[in-house]
Amino acid sequence: MKIHSNIPFFIPHSGCKNSCVFCSQVSITGKSRNQPGLHEELWELENTLESALKTISNGTEVQLAFFGGSFTGIEHERMTALLKTGYGYIKQGRISSIRISTRPDYISRSILELLKAHGVTDIELGIQSISNRVLRASGRGHTAAASYESASLIRDCGFNLAGQMMIGLPLSTARDELDTADAIIEMGATSARIYPTVVFSGTALSDMVRNGTYIPLSEEDAVLHSALCLDKFVRAGVAVLKIGLHSSEGLAAAEYGANHPAIGELVKSRLYYLRLYEQLKEENCRGKAAVIYVKNGETSKLTGHGGGVINRLTREFGLKKIEVMTADVGLYSPVIKIKE
């Protein structure tokens, strides 16, 4: 199986002309909104690529990823220059393709033709929610229809579609979030990202917390809602690339919200718990021992964070003990054997 590696290059907030209530690109990317000159930025891009390529082993499939803003919303000259620089590395055989992220209302056929001509293969669409009520409350500046239309155009033009969604936005319910996951699947996305909402200072959402018009989800609820969406994606064969912001993306600076540094691990552990719970409730297991078989590399999802999943299941089902072992089973598809 070929190893894949992304080289991220962050495009700060200037690509987006909208102000969502949760947006704080300075906190997320660690960059100022003051833009460098184009020549300086292209030099920075080349330096980033050269430095990263020195650390990547031969035979790795390397993709340049423009993240951190709405790539297709930046000035045409700047966007084209960045694409040409990346495409030069594709023509040299040093990287394989380019990935970009953008908003649903910043997509058109002409933009997609430009992206296709410069080696872009993957487009991440910031859908966030499929509820118009939630989109309005979050200041997204577009409706759900824009997400459907853009996703269809992206797929028709032969790109791989990734859907980004958020958990715990203003007015959002667990049902809204499950509907959004379903919509991303129906749109034909091959991958997705799940972002529990965190609140950075200086944002409209921070003001909403202070004046009582927005109450962030508790960590417990954010983990549960995210796990239920992850479950849908896993069952549909949609790869979940990331859950939550990375600690390097200013997560610790978030004032409120699910800003646990290992939020992704907590969500994955919760999915294991939910699936194991459904199996164990069908078993006559009280007073007995159990062996749980999981995919190699997944044991920490059950035994990590103080053994949370194992301890909770042991207590809830009155088991004597639970042993965790690895086996040739699917991801998030644990197998349980009850012992006398």
Q: Do 297 and 256 reside in the same domain of the chain?
A: no
Contact between residue 268 and residue 231 where contact means Cβ atoms under 8 Å apart: no
Q: Do 218 and 289 reside in the same domain of the chain?
A: no
Q: Do 253 and 293 reside in the same domain of the chain?
A: no
For residue 150, the model assigns a pLDDT of 98
Using 50, 70 and 90 to split pLDDT, how confident is the model at 25?
Answer: low
Contact between residue 48 and residue 9 where contact means Cβ atoms under 8 Å apart: yes
Q: What is the pLDDT of residues 213-254, one digit of tens each?
A: 999 999 999 999 999 999 999 999 999 999 998 765 666 677
* Cβ neighbours around 152 below 10 Å, total: 13
For residue 249, the model assigns a pLDDT of 60
Q: What is the phi/psi pair of residue 166, to 5°?
A: -120, 150
Q: What is the pLDDT of residues 88-126, one digit of tens each?
A: 999 999 999 999 999 999 999 999 999 999 999 999 999
List C-alpha distances in Å: 324 to 89, 161, 187, 321, 338: 45, 36, 37, 10, 12
Q: Do 201 and 302 reside in the same domain of the chain?
A: no
For residue 245, the model assigns a pLDDT of 83
Q: Do 85 and 216 reside in the same domain of the chain?
A: yes
The structure's pTM equals: 0.92
Q: Do 285 and 244 reside in the same domain of the chain?
A: no
Number of structural domains (the chain) is: 2
Using 50, 70 and 90 to split pLDDT, how confident is the model at 300?
Answer: very high
What does the mean pLDDT of the chain come to?
91
- 320 DSSP assignment: S
CA distance 232 to 182: 7
Q: What is the pLDDT of residues 248-290, one digit of tens each?
A: 566 667 788 888 889 999 999 999 999 999 999 999 999 999 9
Query: What CATH number does residue 76 fall under?
Result: 3.20.20.70
Q: Do 89 and 233 reside in the same domain of the chain?
A: yes
Q: Do 257 and 285 reside in the same domain of the chain?
A: no
For residue 35, the model assigns a pLDDT of 61
Q: Do 245 and 311 reside in the same domain of the chain?
A: no
Q: What is the phi/psi pair of residue 240, to 5°?
A: -95, 110
**Does the pLDDT value for residue 32 go beyond 50?**
no
For residue 246, the model assigns a pLDDT of 72
Average pLDDT of the residues in 151-161: 98
Residue among 108, 105, 118 at smallest CA distance from 79? 118
User: Does a structural domain hold residue 276?
Assistant: no
* Cβ neighbours around 222 below 10 Å, total: 24
CA distance 326 to 263: 24
**Does the pLDDT value for residue 154 go beyond 50?**
yes
User: Does a structural domain hold residue 266?
Assistant: no
For residue 33, the model assigns a pLDDT of 47
Q: What is the pLDDT of residues 308-326, one digit of tens each?
A: 899 999 999 999 999 999 9
Average pLDDT of the residues in 158-187: 98
Q: What is the pLDDT of residues 178-202, one digit of tens each?
A: 999 999 999 999 999 999 999 988 8
Residue 7 burial (CB < 10 Å; 0-12/13-18/19+)?
buried
Using 50, 70 and 90 to split pLDDT, how confident is the model at 27?
Answer: very low
Cβ neighbours of residue 62 closer than 8 Å, sequence gap 6 or more: 4, 5, 6, 7, 53, 56, 94, 95, 96
Enclosing H/E stretch for 108: none
**Does the pLDDT value for residue 29 go beyond 50?**
no
Q: Do 290 and 221 reside in the same domain of the chain?
A: no
Contact between residue 6 and residue 53 where contact means Cβ atoms under 8 Å apart: no
